[in-house]
Amino acid sequence: MKLRADIIKCGFSQLEQIAEIESKCIPGGWSLKAFEDWFDEKKSIVLAAVYNGEIIGFANGSWVLDEGELLNIAVLEKYRRRGLAENLLKTLEKFFAEKNVTVIYLEVREKNQSALSFYEKHGFIKNGLRKNYYRNPDDNGVLMMKKTGDKYAYTGN
């Protein structure tokens, strides 16, 4: 059954809670310092899913001109498969659209089948592979993209 959570935009002071979710969901993922060094309200966004006053998931991304990047998305294990990541992704896509983003890129571990299925379900297609990109454990990085606006000019030719 779908879980109705509020999606909020986070500020710098909430990054500690975000980093905590990251550490629970993505072993070897971003540290608090990595989030703090990356965060810049002019070109980055962190969205959190809040349920009963608690942050239970988040997504963060950056954009440059018409290109957006989804950097992380994670939901605490006990709340998964209830549409929260979908809600976060759709909110991020809406935000990017307001910034005139027309294509979104991401990278994911090849062995992360749940994330790969999630992205494919939401229209991302594979467009590259970085061999042995990840460590602990070793894994390839799958590059994915999704065209989200009409102005995107790449034709593949």
Taking 3-state DSSP, the helix, strand and coil percentages for the chain, each rounded to the nearest 5, stand at 30, 35, 30
Nearer to ligand COA, 80 or 147 (CB): 80
Nearer to ligand COA, 73 or 101 (CB): 73
Q: Which of 26, 32, 34, 50 binds ligand COA (CB under 6 A)?
A: 26
Q: Which of 46, 47, 56, 85 binds ligand COA (CB under 6 A)?
A: 85
Task: Give yes or no for residue 4 binding ligand COA (CB under 6 A).
Answer: no
| Total binding residues toward ligand COA, as defined by CB under 6 A | 21
Q: Which of 46, 48, 68, 72 binds ligand COA (CB under 6 A)?
A: 72
> How many C-alpha atoms does 89 have within 13 Å on its Cβ side?
22
Q: Under DSSP, is residue 23 helix (H, G, I), strand (E, B) or coil?
A: helix
Phi, psi (rounded to 5 degrees) for 150: -70, -25
* 139, β-bridge pairs: 134
**Which residues between 96 and 125 bind ligand COA (CB under 6 A)?**
108, 112-115, 117-118, 121
Sign of the CA dihedral 90, 96, 98, 100?
negative
Task: Say whether the peptide bond before residue 137 is cis (omega within 30 degrees of 0).
Answer: yes
Nearer to ligand COA, 2 or 151 (CB): 2
CB 149 within 8 A of CB 97: yes
Task: Give yes or no for residue 90 binding ligand COA (CB under 6 A).
Answer: no
CB 146 within 8 A of CB 125: yes
Q: Which of 81, 94, 99, 111 binds ligand COA (CB under 6 A)?
A: 81
Task: Give yes or no for residue 83 binding ligand COA (CB under 6 A).
Answer: yes
Residues that bind ligand COA (CB under 6 A): 25-26, 72-75, 80-86, 108, 112-115, 117-118, 121
